[in-house]
Structure 1
Amino acid sequence: PIRAQGAWISDKEVESIVKFWKKQGEPIYEEAIENETISIAHEQEEDDELLPDAIRLVIENGQASISMLQRRFRIGYSRAARLIDVMEVRGIVGTHQGSKPREVLADITILEEV
């Protein structure tokens, strides 16, 4: 048996709390923060000069994985993972599938846009 301590709250109580907060009105977002987040994400994806080569590699191989990028380009895990993330956001590769390589969704014509 596992001993766990904490306050217990029923599903009914959770639902009533959620309903209460939903009735409080629409959220007010800070536009400056939203715009900054979008621009930072865009800058990060454009920063890597290896991106066009990485896209070409995954399209030619028909699959994408972080380890493949690490081996072929002799780069670290973080950089390879960022390249894969950018390709996923752009719709070039599919989502993470455990230990399997990602599916390539784009064809070679995408390189003209990069």
Structure 2
Amino acid sequence: IDELADLMIFAPGDAEDLITRIAQMARATGIHLVLATQRPSVDVITGLMKANIPARIAFNVSSMIDSRVIIDMPGAEKLLGKGDMLYLPPDKAKPVRIQGPFVTEKDVNNIVKFLKAQNPEVHYTQEVLNQPVTVSGKLGTVVINGGERDPLFDKAVEIIMQHDKASASLLQRRLSIGYARAARILDQLEAAGYVGPAEGAKPRDVIKRLANQE
């Protein structure tokens, strides 16, 4: 995220929840999450975010307060700029002062090409690529591309009403479909208001019932 402040101004609650959730799972799944901002204030970098960001880098800032927001101590306000930085690794109590080199865009592209050439070609599962792009919000998952409902959507509604719960594994068993399709139908059920948002591995709650069941 190149400028975190933009997200926190536009949707502070949603942005904090989503970033924190990603950061909590990142170490277990190999995700490298990089957050950057030119305005290191407490309303941009919240305490919940900081608790889940193990490594921090501070460049030259305008005040001691800004330095404390980033690395929990003063010092960054005395940096010289031009790559001069304080790096606080997760296993150290005090930051290390290091110098970052200037890297041109051409150099970056060359490094990316080299790394790609060292690794085997990636093959993606077509069923996953064909899934609608979704974004999770406070009210549930909203399908961004406005795709049509799955032909098994109505049948899935009947199943979750019968079992009073909803999960991808339940839909897989009852509809004899793969995980990707079951997860997609679950997203559509959430967008339609039938089920609540995901809570870890637990089955989702059914929050909207058919008229004849009320």
Runs of 4+ in 1 over 6 A off after TM superposition: none
CA, structure 1 residues 100+6, in 2 after alignment: closer, same or farther (shift >3 Å)? Answer: closer
Higher normalized contact order (CA 8 Å, seq sep 6+, divided by chain length): 1
Aligned residues: 83
Residue of 88, 101, 107 corresponding to 2:203: 101
Structure 2: which 5+ residue stretches go unaligned? 1-53, 70-141
How high is the TM-score relative to the length of structure 1?
Answer: 0.60
Q: How does 1:48-67 map to 2 (within 5 A)?
A: 48-67=150-169
1:74 is matched with 176
Structure (1 or 2) with the greater strand fraction: 2
The structure carrying a bigger helix percent of its residues is 1
Q: Which runs of 5+ in 1 are unaligned?
A: 15-37
Instruction: Report the CA distance shift for 1:6/1:104 in structure 2 as closer, same or farther (over 3 A).
Output: closer
Identity of aligned pairs, percent?
Answer: 37
| CA apart distance, 1:39 | 9.3
Please point out which of 33, 36, 41 is paired with 2:145.
Answer: 41
The 2-side partners of 1:93 and 1:40 are apart by: 18
Between the aligned partners of 1:104 and 1:57, the Cα distance in structure 2 is 11
Give the direction of change, closer, same or farther, for the CA distance of 1:5–1:92 in structure 2 (3 Å limit).
closer
* 1:52-101: CA deviation from partner (whole Å, max 9, x where unpaired): 00011101110000000001111011100000001111111001011210
Question: In the alignment, residue 100 of structure 1 is paired with which amino acid?
Answer: K
Counterparts of 1:17-28 in structure 2, within 5 Å, are none
TM-score when scaled to structure 2? 0.33
Task: State the partner residue of 1:35.
Answer: none
Post-superposition offset of 1:108: 1.7
